[in-house]
Amino acid sequence: MDFKLRRSPSTDWGVSAPVVIEDDAFIGMNCLILKGVTIGARSIIAAGSVVTKSIPADCIAGGNPAKVIKRISE
């Protein structure tokens, strides 16, 4: 595609959303976290995971796409 078209303000390709990583979350190496995702407090994301949806607090999640594997209880 033409670079002038990609730079045009009329396209929505540049639309983004914040990624929120709450307190004490652990994210393994080589994870991909997509826009608009929230990683809950004290959650663990396994290495190499692709996080496409928000992960609640106190969970272990992993995979492609990442899903909750286990809840962490005190």
Domains of the chain, residue spans: 17-71
* H or E element, residue 67: strand 66-71
Q: pTM of the prediction?
A: 0.80
Q: β-strands 66-71, 44-45: how paired?
A: unpaired
Q: pLDDT tens across 22-65, in order?
A: 999 999 999 999 999 999 999 999 999 999 999 999 999 999 99
Strand, helix or coil for residue 5: helix
* H or E element, residue 46: none
- Taking the CA atoms of the chain, what radius of gyration do you get in angstroms? 16
Per-residue confidence (pLDDT) for residue 9, from 0 to 100: 67
CATH topology of domain 17-71: UDP N-Acetylglucosamine Acyltransferase; domain 1 (2.160.10)
Partners of 62 in the β-ladder: 67
61 and 46 Cβ atoms separated by less than 8 Å: yes
